[in-house]
Amino acid sequence: MKKIASLLLVSVFAGAITLGAYKLFFEENSYVFTENESTPFTMASYTPTSARGAGINEVDFTSAAETTVNAVVHVKNVAVNSGPQSLMQFLYGYEPDKTPRIQGAGSGVIIDPNGYIVTNNHVIAGATELQVTLNNNITYKAELIGTDPNSDIALIKIDPEQKLPYLAFGDSDTTKIGEWVLAVGNPFNLTSTVTAGIVSAKARSLGGGNQSFIQTDAAVNPGNSGGALVNTNGDLIGINTAISSQTGSYVGYSFAVPSNIAKKIVDDIIEYGNVQKGILGIVTVNLNSPYAIEKGINTIDGVYVNDVSEDSGAYDAGLKTGDVIKKLDEITIHKYPDLTGYLSTKRPGDELQVIIERDGEQLVIPVTLKERQTIVLPIMDLEVKNLSEKDKKEFKTKKGVKIVGVSERYEGYGLGGKILLSVGDQEINDIKDAKVLFGKITKYRNTSITMMNSKGEKERIILQ
């Protein structure tokens, strides 16, 4: 019986081996696919892609980098402290230490062969002396031509012995998200360092009122401020200005002032000595406010007009509360920084084609920009505006500025709506005069300010 069982077991194993060998060497393979109609799948393409088509190696950075590094300079902010350094020096005298000290450094971009250089305002702020070192290590003293703290742009100039390599401003409005860019500067005092990345976003605000930055993931570190952001053609499309970081060094995103804004500011400083701002004259609403959420304004694609300032270009053209601005000229407006970014490239007197949505209809309204009608005065923090024709008739005066906003510390004095006529014995003609005269007020002497109330009566207050 045991022999029969052993023979049976050997036979089973032999059969299994024979069948396996047949399957392995003689029978063709066959597969069955089950198609699941409820879960369609798309096969992925394995073709390599890049911004220019078939592979990242096709994007040539070398030409743009070679052009840019020679037009980017190292800017040193030098300060000479001649005052007392301690209480003992203040009380008992001292020998002034006039040794120059580097209090800051950054980058700059040569934009003219004769030595005009654009950089950031925060790079040169508070400088007693400015030093500029070219890529060939030649150092010059620089002259400050003008600044615009609001946009963080400054213009300085050196006097070279020969024509300098420079970068031409490109058109930042045509820059597209996803486009390759190079950031060139002097991070950590390293000369002319080039990094690459893409444009991550446009019209980015960092919390300021009128900011509209180009956002990129090209590495920008301390010392890059004021350096160049260029496209692969070597066109200057931005001035590197800020990074988003909790450490002070690059962690993923950097921000540049668009070239169209920087160019307009530079042109204004050279031609007028200051920045000419064209004002549209609308009041918007914070999209995150309860009011905006309640009214559904926070979901609007465009800029909602919550109010229109009297005697502004928007007021004259007939813009109304409830209008939604969709385009300015050929620039599509999705959010407020889109609008402020484009307006920053315009001057008073420029005419814009404003495309709005009103009651379900799209309208094209020509608007001529005007000068800023209101400013906040130093010392008292009063918001004032130029007199409208209506104000001049009501108060029977052609000179002065109207108080339209009062700071908290002066709220109980009934200043709102009155006309400021003079500071001391100097008349105020407009908001520019008012800003200059209030800027001269000091706390060390009494200053009289003359005003007019709605009854035409003159009033005087004394600042002590």
Q: Which two tokens stand for residue 217?
A: 């993931």
How many CB atoms within 10 Å of residue 67?
Answer: 20
For 449, the token pair is: 């300010």
Q: Please tell me which residue in 151, 172, 192, 225 is annotated as part of the active site.
A: 225
Based on the number of CB atoms within 10 Å of its own CB, is 72 exposed (0-12), middle (13-18) or buried (19 or more)?
buried
Catalytic-labelled residue, pool 107, 122, 192, 254 = 122
In angstroms, the Cα distances linking 187 to 183, 223, 231, 297, 415 are: 11, 4, 20, 42, 50
Determine the Cα–Cα distance for residues 175 and 181; give it in Å rounded to an integer. 10
- Which residue from 139, 110, 106, 111 is spatially nearest to 125, judged by alpha carbons? 106
User: Could you say which DSSP state residue 114 is in?
Assistant: T
Q: What are phi and psi of 452, to 5 degrees?
A: -130, 135
Judge contact between 114 and 244, C-beta under 8 A: no
Residue 121 host element (H or E): helix 121-124
SS3 at position 5? helix
Nearest C-alpha neighbor of 224 from the set 197, 192, 201, 196: 192
Residues in the chain: 464
Tokens linked to 45: 């393409």
Cα separations in angstroms, 18 against 27, 28, 32, 255, 430: 13, 16, 25, 73, 107
**Of 183, 134, 186, residue with least CA distance to 161:** 134
Q: Is 97 a catalytic residue?
A: no
Question: Could you confirm whether 407 is annotated as catalytic?
Answer: no
Residue 122 annotated to the active site: yes
Q: Which DSSP string do the residues of 253-320 spell out, in sequence order?
A: -EEEEEHHHHHHHHHHHHHHSS----B--EE---TTSHHHHHHTGGG-SSEE--EE-TTSHHHHHT--
As a whole number of angstroms, the distance between CA 103 and CA 78 comes to 6
Distance CA 288, CA 413 (A): 33
Evaluate whether 229 touches 240 at the Cβ level (below 8 Å).
Answer: yes
Set 152, 217, 268, 323: catalytic member: 152
Residues 6+ apart with CB under 8 A from 172: 214, 237, 238, 258, 259, 260, 261
Which residues have a catalytic role annotated? 122, 152, 225
